[in-house]
């Protein structure tokens, strides 16, 4: 007969547990994930989340409605009830490979910021009134940067467009701001995404975004529009959302309440053209929000990130906000720093 001592017995038990427990945990994790997917059949958030053993690194800061969070099984800390006019906004800083120097003040050392700030907007296409300048476009993939751009073909292609030739293929046509051509000669044909500051029944125009990506019906009833801030920001002239009212502001007695993305036809902004060139961004003759096709009111943190990006402090501040928002619920929130006022 074989005799077992206590040490041998304990070792055998430990071996059995060490073999069975990982399998049990794996089975439990799989069952939990299957139950989660059953709750969100269209898709479930795959980034870091409480209890997740496997996840994707997520470069975005999310601001979502409760409806969107429920639909895609998103963490509660992403919900922001101050967001209106959009089901969700995902903000990202991304390296910009398209930097062209010498375009500012004619100096070769004057280069735009080498980061893009992207606002990815999910809109209910059954409610939002955001008309396309080119209704035929269902998908636009932005400008894929490759070696061909260094060969200087842009001007010859532009000449072909003005001669009436179609130089774009499917996926290259911008839905809201088509490239200039023989038939499209002005921005009046565009649908514009303006960055505005709400005042008292009107809004001052603070900047503009341009589409970088578009997908009609990304999921049923929802369009995805990616807006690029690199065309209108980064020159250290944006309004600080945390600064007190400035007495030098001609509308000092009508201080800013909140910031938004406001949609207008280019033809409706045409009368503003001469004043825009004079750098007068105050337009009291358009009622807010009724004078715009659609308005997306942004959470305050988004306005802070736009300002930080404009001040070329964007990456550091963006990361601070991301850490603060994505902290697990049981942990101590990270400290968020406010961008320095001009």
Any alpha helices (H) in the chain, and if so which ranges? Answer: 6-39, 66-71, 154-162, 266-269, 273-277, 300-310, 314-326
pLDDT band at residue 342 under the 50/70/90 scheme: very low
Confidence of residue 240 (pLDDT cuts 50, 70, 90): very high
**Which one, of 288, 204, 306, 275, lies nearest residue 246 by Cα?**
204
Distance CA 129, CA 341 (A): 35
Region 35-52: mean pLDDT is 84
Asked if the model's pLDDT at residue 337 lies above 60, the reply is: no
Mean pLDDT of 123-128: 96
The reported pLDDT for the residue numbered 220 is 93
Which has more confidence, 206 or 155? 206
Residue (of 31, 207, 177) closest to 117 by Cα position: 207
Residue 303 lies in a domain: yes
Is 155 inside any structural domain? yes
pLDDT at 138: 96
221 belongs to a structural domain: yes
Residue 318, pLDDT > 60, answer yes
Could you give the CA distance from residue 227 to residue 208 in angstroms, rounded to a whole number?
9
Instruction: Record the pTM.
Output: 0.78
Torsion of CA 166, 172, 175, 178, to 10 degrees: -50
Name the region of 91 (left: φ>0; alpha: ψ -120 to 50; beta: rest): beta
pLDDT-based confidence at residue 11 (cuts at 50, 70, 90) = low
Q: What angle in degrees, to the nearest 10, is found between the helix axes of 300-310 and 314-326?
A: 160
Structural contact between residues 232 and 208, judged by C-beta atoms closer than 8 angstroms:
yes
Nearest by Cα to 206 from 263, 117, 279: 279
Is 37's pLDDT higher than 80? Answer: no
Q: Does 3 score more than 70 pLDDT?
A: no
Q: pLDDT: is 227 or 143 the higher one?
A: 227
Average pLDDT score over residue span 120-125: 98
Q: How far apart are CA 228 and CA 197, in angstroms?
A: 18
Residue whose C-alpha is closest to residue 204's, from 272, 132, 121: 272
Rounded to the nearest angstrom, the gap between the alpha carbon of residue 153 and the centroid of all alpha carbons in its chain is 30
The pLDDT tens digits of the residues spanning 176-223 come to: 998 877 777 777 788 999 999 998 889 988 889 999 999 999 999 999
Total domains in the chain come to 1
Neighbour count for residue 263 (Cβ, 10 Å): 21
Residue 318: CB atoms within 10 Å: 21
Count of CB atoms situated within 10 Å of the CB of 240: 19
Q: What burial class does residue 38 get, using C-beta atoms within 10 Å of its C-beta: 0-12 exposed, 13-18 middle, 19+ buried?
A: exposed
- Residue 71 falls within a domain, yes or no? yes
Residue 110 confidence (pLDDT): 63
Domain of 112, in residue numbers: 61-326
What is the CB-side half-sphere exposure of residue 50 using CA atoms within 13 A?
12
Q: 341 pLDDT exceeds 50?
A: no
pLDDT given at position 266: 82
Looking at per-residue pLDDT, the higher value among 323 and 82 belongs to: 82
Q: Could you tell me the sign of the dihedral formed by the alpha carbons of 125, 126, 129, 134, in that order?
A: positive
Q: For residues 16-26, give the mean pLDDT.
A: 50
What's the distance, CA 283 to chain centroid?
A: 25
Q: pLDDT per residue over 242-290, tens digit each?
A: 999 888 877 778 889 999 999 998 877 655 443 343 334 455 678 899 9
Q: Which residue reads 């009368």 in tokens?
A: 271
Instruction: Assess whether pLDDT exceeds 70 at residue 107.
Output: no
Residues 6+ apart with CB under 8 A from 17: none
Q: Which of 122-136, 280-294, 315-329 has the highest mean pLDDT?
A: 122-136
Residue 339: band (very low, low, confident or very high) from pLDDT cuts 50, 70, 90: very low
Q: In this structure, is residue 70 part of a structural domain?
A: yes
| 174 band by pLDDT with thresholds 50, 70 and 90 | very high
Report d(CA 268, CA 83) in Å as an integer. 26
CB 246 within 8 A of CB 146: no
In a domain, 205, yes or no: yes
Look at residue 79 and tell me if it is in a domain: yes
* 331 domain residue, yes or no: no
């Amino acid at each position: 007969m074989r005799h077992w001592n206590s040490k041998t017995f304990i070792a055998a038990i430990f071996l059995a547990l060490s073999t069975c427990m990982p399998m049990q945990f794996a089975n439990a994790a799989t069952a939990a994930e299957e139950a989660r997917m059953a709750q969100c059949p269209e898709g479930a958030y795959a980034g870091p989340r409480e209890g997740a053993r496997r996840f994707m690194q997520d470069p975005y800061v999310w601001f979502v409605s409760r409806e969107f969070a429920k639909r895609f099984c998103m963490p509660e800390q992403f919900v922001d009830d101050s967001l209106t006019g959009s089901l969700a906004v995902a903000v990202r800083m991304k390296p910009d490979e398209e930097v062209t120097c010498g375009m500012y003040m004619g100096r070769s050392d004057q280069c735009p910021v080498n980061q893009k700030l992207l606002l990815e907007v999910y809109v209910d296409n059954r409610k939002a009134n955001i008309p396309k300048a080119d209704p035929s476009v269902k998908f636009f993939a932005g400008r894929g940067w490759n070696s061909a751009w260094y060969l200087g073909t842009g001007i010859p292609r532009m000449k072909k467009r003005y001669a009436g030739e179609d130089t774009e293929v499917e996926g290259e046509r911008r839905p809201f701001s088509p490239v200039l051509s023989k038939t499209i000669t002005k921005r009046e044909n565009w649908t514009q995404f303006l960055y505005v500051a709400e005042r008292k029944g009107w809004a001052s125009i603070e900047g503009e975004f341009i589409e970088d990506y578009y997908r009609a019906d990304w999921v049923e009833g929802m369009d995805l529009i990616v807006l690029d801030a690199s065309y209108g920001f980064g020159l250290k002239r944006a309004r600080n959302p945390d600064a007190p009212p400035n007495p030098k502001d001609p509308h000092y007695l009508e201080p800013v309440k909140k910031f938004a993305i406001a949609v207008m036809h280019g033809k409706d902004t045409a009368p503003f053209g001469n004043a825009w060139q004079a750098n007068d961004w105050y337009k009291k003759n358009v009622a807010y929000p009724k004078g715009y096709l659609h308005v997306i009111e942004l959470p305050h943190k988004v306005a802070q990130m736009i300002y930080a990006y404009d001040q070329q402090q964007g990456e550091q501040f963006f990361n601070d906000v991301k850490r603060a928002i994505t902290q697990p619920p049981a942990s101590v929130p990270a400290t968020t720093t406010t961008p320095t006022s001009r």
